[in-house]
Every structure is written in C-alpha cells, then in structure tokens.
Structure 1
Amino acid sequence: MRISIWPGAGQPWSDIVEAARHAEVSGWDGVWIADHFMPNAGPGRDVTAPTLEAGSLVAGLAAAVPRVRIGTLVYGNTYRHPAVVANMAATVDQISGGRFTLGVGAGWQVNEHQQYGIDLPPTRQLLDRFVEALQVLHGLLRTPKTTFDGEYYQLTDALCEPKPIQDPLPIMIGAKGEKRMLGVVAEYADQWNTWGLPEVIAHKSAVLDRFCAERGRDPKSIARTAQALVVVDGPLPEGLPMPIIGGTPAKLADAIAEYRAVGLDELIIPDGLLGTGAEKLKHMDTILSLVRA
C-alpha cells in the first residue's frame, strides 16, 4: 500500500515544501494538494484564513521535490475550463518529469462559488458538466486533436501541446455518490478517491466494482485511494464531521492494517492534526514506519 502526505494549503509555502521534502527523503510515495481558495464555512472555522492556490502549488512542488508523485486532491471542475486544466496538467507533468496525477471532482464548496460569482448548478447539471469535462480532458491529454460539441463545452480541432510525459497521464476522480458518481469513476478514472474509514472504503469499493462489471471494465484497472484525519499519539478530537484514525501508534497500526485488508492502494494522510515543525516530521516518520512494518 502506498502512503502519501497531504499538506494543507492554509499554511505557508515554506511549511508545505518542508513536509514534501521530508516525505521525499524519508520514503513516502506522494504529495497531494487540495483545490480550494478559502476554508469551508462552518462552526468554529475562520473562513478568512489565507489559502494558497492548488495549481501553483503542484507546479512549485514538481520543481522543488524531485522524486515523489504530485497530485491534486482534487481540482474542482467549476473553477476552470477543462481545456485550461488539461494544459495545466500537461505542463506540471513536464515539470515533474512524469510524476503528476490529475485529480478532479465535480465541485461543491458553496462559499467559494458565492464570493467569486462562480455558478454552482443543481446536482444533475453539475454532474452532467463534470462528465463533459472528463471527455474533454481525455481528448486533449490523450489524442492529437479534440473536437467536442457538448452542452457546456465546445472545442474545435483543439490542441494540448506538449502532451504529458506519461502516456496516459493518470486521472483520479474524487467521488462518493453511489447512484451516479461511482459509475462516472468506472467510466473515466484511472484512480478513485474518497474520505472514509476502512469499512466505508470496502463498501464503496464494492459498489464501484459493480459499476465496472456493468461497463465491462476490469475493476483492478482503477486504483483505490482514500484519506482520514490522523492522530498519532493523543486524544481524538470530538465533534469533527470527518473520519479520524489513530490516537496511539498501536491503534493507528490497526487502522492501517484494515485499510490494507480491504484492498486500498494508497492511504493519504492530511497533515492537519500532525502538529507543526519538528513534531509534524516526527509524526510523519512514525506513520511511515507503521505502513512499512
């Protein structure tokens, strides 16, 4: 099972690159960056906290950190035209020497759309637009020219050059919906990502397998990735609406073993509960030792 770190974009660049470089030299597999412009609105959250932009961060990391894979977790489709995203992805893959994974999702965070005047359509239209965007991405990144006449996107003999170094550049879809979105994953993704504890991942992975069977696709061709908040050594915080694992190294080791047992290909660790500075790096070393044990 691969292990990757997810540095929060709400911290200074110096802290992000420190964590990424530590991951690189100590033996982690990847570094992921979320795509948000501000914290999500919610109780106890400072929605004015500074947040660095994802596309710029992955390009910077691709140049600054020479070994690990770099990826977006995940680009919100509503924020950028997919043709722009395709060119961004191809460029980062060139900068990284072929180490970029393009993570994409439909888009969801309300306050970002409200503040920037970006349309956040109803769910059906949102997903219809996302499916068209995936077709555009596949075309631009994997074929010489792309002509596409959709309801939301239209391209005519469109180029994306230079192409990524990787052929194909892997596309990861962030999705949890069992009615439609996991079917979209089965149709278009090389990798799948969602939040969840092992039992949730096992259930949704089985749903994804069924969608793959309906489409005649080998389910093993889609890598399974997931994340949960991690506490290495200390009390688990209460009241957070997110999956959390750990509390002690022994409990964390048990959770890692459960993820491995349900067939997870990559566990992604957000750094939000790992502390700062030397404490964070020490906790990263503990996590890595448990995964490699």
Structure 2
Amino acid sequence: MDASRAARYSTRSHGIVAVMRLSIWPGAGQPYDAILETARHGEETGWDAVYIADHFMPNAGPGVDVRRPVLEATALVAALGAAVPRVRIGTLVLGNTYRHPAVVANLAATLDRITGGRFVLGVGAGWQVNEHEQYGIELPPTKQLLDRFVEALQVLHGLLRSPVTNFDGAYYRITEAVNEPKPVQEPLPILIGAKGEKRMLGVVARYADLWNAWGTPELIAHKMKVLDDHCARIGRDPSEIDRTAQALTVVDAEVPDMGDRPVIGGSRARLADTIAEYQAIGLDELIVPDALLGTGADRLRAMDTILSLAR
C-alpha cells in the first residue's frame, strides 16, 4: 500500500482501528435531488464517503413493485463526484456480469479523475436474477460466475495498475491493452463485496484493498477471522485490506423485521452500543444505508444523530 492511499483510506495501526470511518449509502431508487441532498449533508457534517448500489430495478419478491424507478450507478457516481467535492465516492458494488472489466477499468479511471482521486471501485460477482432475465444478460452457474469474476479482477488489476496488459482467460481476452489516463490514486482502491467463506473470502485476500459484507458485529468478526486465515495461507498481511460492513439502521424507532437483512439500532443507546461493537472488532468503516432513516429533514436529523453516536 503506498503512502498516499494509507493516509487517505487506512485507519489501521498494528491491527487496531484508530477511528472507524462512517459512510452513507443513499438508495438509488429515489429522486436524484434526494440523493444529492443526502450526499451534500454527509459532506458538510463530517461523513467519510457516499456509496451507490449497482442495480437497474428492485429485486423481485413478495410485495415488491419491480417497476419502481432506479437510477443507474455509474452515471450517478459521476454526477455526485462532480457535485460533492470532499467525500469519497464509491460503488457498492458493480455487478461483474453487467460490464466487461476492461470497460469498468476505463470507467473507474475516469471517475477517479472526475473526483480528483476520491473514487472507490466496489465490485462483485453479480447475483440479481430478475435484472439478468429482463435484460437478457447471462447469469451463469455459481462456479462459472465466480471463475469469471476472478478473471475480471485480474483484468482490472492489469489495466488500472500496469502500462500495458495482456490476458488470455476462459472468459476475457485483452491484447496489448492500455487504459489511459490512469487513475489519480496509485493504486485506485478496489473493494470486493463477498461473504462466502470457502472461496470468495480467498478471492478478497488475493485481490482486494477493501472488503465489504452485510452483518452484525458478531457475524462480521467471524468473517474477518476467516479472511485473516485466507491471507495467512497466501502470505499477505491482512492489515492491507480494510474491512467495511453495513446493516440497515434505525434511529429512535421500533426495529422492523427485514428478513435476512441485519438491522441495528432502535433506541439511541442500543445504536451507540452496536456502533462501539463494530469499532471494537476492528471494523475500518461502517456504511449506513438510508432505507430506514426516513426522508427529507427526518433523514438528515437521523444522519446527525448517528454521526454524534459514532464520534
């Protein structure tokens, strides 16, 4: 990890997190003005980053209106990067099946230029079935999906970090490929969203600068130990990988049942305790989705409360 990246992104010192970063995740299924308001408020009040998910429609399920509008992630990140000048801007995460990794590398370098070196390239293997079905995008079986993702990560590393890249894989082939201009950051940080302990956390150990997963402190602590074990097997210092996590967050309200999605908060005291638990396990960055924070002024007040409890 170079000095500039360490200064900007890493909060680790000998495995201990000095100050856990706090970032906001506005849902892309709302008007751009609302997303921009959230991002600007986060910037003005001391939040560290704004993340955007990569989906084209809501995930199909009981009671879900899949026709609800959703804004495209890369265009949204570019707009926020130009309009909000301090915080990091990241994708959480780009689905690999939607774009060729060489195109993603070019996109990422451009976004890092737009933001003046504040972009975080979050990537994942891809998963949402109804998007693939409606748009005619192949969603292969799991092994092939993950094999393809590993190849994509090799392409991304090459094009973002080397002058010229050649790669001849089962799914991707690039020949004497260039990607100019390069990102401002050296290297541009790659975040991998992953939860699978047998293979995917091994992929994180090999290719990620940041790791992300959903989970309560107990679950994230367990996954972090698995990630450390994968790092030990390949001889990588686990402190080189920042650990980020999120859970749906409730402020001053009853905690709803959100199925398999983790939910934290309720009372301020309970939320403060949980935030402290994340920091105690060594989490580098807690990402807060805005889905349960209300709208308008209520959302901004909830953000202020969360920030005060985290600091």
TM-score after normalising by structure 2: 0.93
Residue 203 of structure 1 pairs with residue 222 of structure 2: yes
What is the aligned counterpart of 1:126 among 142, 145, 159?
145
Residue 102 of structure 1 pairs with residue 121 of structure 2: yes
Matches of 1:122 and 1:95 in 2, distance apart? 36
Matches of 2:301 and 2:36 in 1, distance apart? 16
What is the aligned counterpart of 2:275 among 229, 243, 256?
256
Q: CA deviation at 1:44?
A: 1.9
CA displacement 1:20-67 (0-9 Å, x = unmatched): 000000000000000000000112211110000000011001100000
Aligned twin of 1:170: 189
Residue 66 of structure 1 pairs with residue 69 of structure 2: no
Residue 193 of structure 1 pairs with residue 196 of structure 2: no
Matches of 1:8 and 1:44 in 2, distance apart? 18
* Identical positions, percent: 74
Give secondary structure in 1 for the equivalent of 2:218.
helix
Give secondary structure in 2 for the equivalent of 1:289.
helix
Matches of 2:51 and 2:248 in 1, distance apart? 14
Q: CA deviation at 1:100?
A: 0.3
Matches of 2:93 and 2:236 in 1, distance apart? 24
Q: CA deviation at 1:241?
A: 2.1
Residue 21 of structure 1 pairs with residue 21 of structure 2: no
Matches of 2:76 and 2:61 in 1, distance apart? 25
Residue 234 of structure 1 pairs with residue 253 of structure 2: yes
Aligned twin of 1:149: 168
Which residue identity lines up with residue 290 of structure 1 in the other structure?
L
Aligned twin of 2:25: 6
Between 2-11 and 42-51, report the one with greater CA deviation: 42-51
Give secondary structure in 2 for the equivalent of 1:67.
coil
What is the aligned counterpart of 2:293 among 274, 281, 289?
274
Residue 182 of structure 1 pairs with residue 201 of structure 2: yes
What is the aligned counterpart of 1:40 among 47, 59, 77?
59
TM-score after normalising by structure 1: 0.99
Aligned-CA RMSD value:
0.5
Give secondary structure in 1 for the equivalent of 2:80.
helix
Q: CA deviation at 1:239?
A: 4.4
Aligned twin of 2:96: 77
Gaps of 5+ in 1: none
Matches of 1:243 and 1:162 in 2, distance apart? 40
Count, aligned residues: 292
Matches of 1:241 and 1:274 in 2, distance apart? 19
Q: CA deviation at 1:202?
A: 0.3
Matches of 1:69 and 1:182 in 2, distance apart? 24
Q: CA deviation at 1:240?
A: 2.9
